[in-house]
Amino acid sequence: MKIFTIKKNLQQHLQQIKASDKTIGFVPTMGALHQGHLSLIEQAQQNNDEIVCSIFVNPSQFNDPKDLEKYPRTIEADTKLLEQAKCDVLFNPPVNEIYDDNEQWHLNIGEMESLLEGKSRPGHYQGVTQVVYKLFNIVQPDTAFFGQKDYQQFLIISKMVEALKLPVKLVMCPIMRETDGLAMSSRNVHLSADDRQHALVLSRTLNWVKNNFDSAHIPQLKKEAELNVRNEPGVELDYFEIADGNTLHPADQNTKNIIALVAAKVGKTRLIDNVLLVHRP
């Protein structure tokens, strides 16, 4: 696997790849890699010649400096995992390769920026879109792969790609779960043994909503789901929403695509999870 920290060097390498008519599949990450990330690499390998994974803990998407500081950084283990997964290129730039000093700009990504995750983490999606825009410009991938766990992130990046007419295809890959249902996340390493048990309420409640979706009304399901999460010790619910999968506004029974999304603090760790409920063409 080739490792680049300087964007110019990465670009030189990728120019040669493109010149030989090969396609580039891109998996942007913040590191602390787990099976979820590796599934994105696997998916990328199915239809692309050269796979680029970036590891960059992006400061501009953290609205809480403490969260940025304690975000897990495991570059040696990550590099090994990527080697084993036969990833072709790792791009692991320092912050000053991506951002100029005091760089400030704003992308119009519409109202979704301030819904759900955006409401709880002001500025988060500005940071995400800024860095993804920059990474797309550097890597110029044919296809980029993101996980469904960050569903809202996927929607917002899709909007950005559409609005700016960026020449990249986006693919959303399914959530990878531990055997007991917990959605894989780099943040899971922060969970204590007790937190780890309590965290299961999230996937359990999402499943319960999925299993009861056809026999109950949405407001009732939402109310019971909220209560269920709130009743779990050590868990502080942020939101449980049954939403339109395109707009993230609350869904009704006629909405074509419906998704249930949850965010909660488990101990000191904020977790998110979701499940698709209805997909009508």
Closer by beta carbon to ligand PAF, 29 or else 92: 29
- The Cα angle at residue 249 between residues 152 and 160, in degrees rounded to 5: 40
Q: How far is the CB of 275 from ligand PAF (least distance, A)?
A: 18
Closer by beta carbon to ligand PAF, 134 or else 222: 134
Closer by beta carbon to ligand PAF, 148 or else 228: 148
Closer by beta carbon to ligand PAF, 98 or else 202: 98
Rounded Cα distance between 191 and 198, Å, is 10
> What six digits make up the tokens of 222?
């939402």
- By the 8 A CB rule, do 30 and 57 touch? yes
Closer by beta carbon to ligand PAF, 40 or else 235: 40
- By the 8 A CB rule, do 3 and 130 touch? no
> What six digits make up the tokens of 226?
């909220």
Rounded Cα distance between 94 and 228, Å, is 43
Q: How far is the CB of 153 from ligand PAF (least distance, A)?
A: 6
Q: How far is the CB of 160 from ligand PAF (least distance, A)?
A: 11
Q: How far is the CB of 213 from ligand PAF (least distance, A)?
A: 27
Q: Please identify which residue in the block is written with the tokens 């519409």.
A: 110
Q: How far is the CB of 173 from ligand PAF (least distance, A)?
A: 12
Give the bridge partners for 274, in sequence order.
261
Rounded Cα distance between 68 and 247, Å, is 29
Instruction: Check if 249 is active-site.
Output: no
Q: Nearest Cα to 110, choosing from 160, 62, 149?
A: 160
Category of 86 on φ-ψ map: left (φ > 0), alpha (ψ -120 to 50) or beta: left
Q: Which residues bind ligand PAF (CB under 6 A)?
A: 28-30, 58, 61, 128, 131-132, 150, 153
Give the active site residue among 34, 37, 190, 198: 37
Which residues carry out catalysis?
37
